[in-house]
Structure 1
Amino acid sequence: MPLTLLTRADCSACATARTDLARICAELGTGFDEMDVDRAADDGDPSVRAEFGDRLPVLLLDGEEHSYWEIDEPRLRTDLARRDS
């Protein structure tokens, strides 16, 4: 999955980003994965939380940071269109 939303529990900004991303992905006919950085750390992989945990939510596109704190919708749509062409 090219899109991954990094989140944590009880994060209102993460909930907003999830809603926005779900709407955008539904319109574009694509999906996204979600990773709770605290759960990943508890499961033995603290690297994602160490790198991104201070600015959640973070959207990764093909494993690279695309936006944080909110979904940059115009940029995301442009980047996905370029990627698919």
Structure 2
Amino acid sequence: METQKPQKTVTLIGKPGCHLCDVARDTVVRVCAETGAAWEERDINQDAELYRMYWEQIPVVLVDGAQHDFWRVDPDRLRGALTG
């Protein structure tokens, strides 16, 4: 009997008007659609703790709450984290 792995969740932390955030979002949406992972987006301007932790790194990508990438999202690396 095959057991299914739990679905992973990708969180994109960015801000409105950020070009790198727009590029990262496109990558996250595409890779999550391919792998069946869930994704969510958080605005760093709306959360003081996220702002404190990640301001100089946005966009930041978390996988199941752990930091995975920042500034640029490598689709192959993200795909590997979601399927591995």
TM-score of Structure 1 vs Structure 2, range by shorter chain:
0.7 to 0.9
Q: Which runs of at least 4 in structure 1 moved beyond 2 Å after TM superposition?
A: none
How high is the sequence identity, in percent, across the aligned residues? Answer: 32
Alignment-mate amino acid for residue 17 of structure 2: D
Count of aligned pairs:
77
TM-score if structure 1 supplies the norm length? 0.82
Give the Cα separation in 2 of the matches to 1:79 and 1:24: 11
TM-score, with normalisation over the residues of structure 2?
0.83
> Please, which runs of 5 or more residues in structure 2 have no aligned partner?
1-7
- The answer to whether residue 22 in structure 2 is matched with residue 15 in structure 1 is yes
Q: In structure 2, which of residues 10, 13, 19 is the aligned counterpart of residue 3 of structure 1? A: 10
Match of 2:80 in 1: 78
Tell whether 2:7 aligns with 1:32.
no
Which whole-Å CA distance do the structure 1 matches of 2:72 and 2:34 have between them?
18
Name the Cα RMSD after superposition. Answer: 1.2
For structure 1, the residue ranges without an aligned partner over 5 or more in a row are 41-45
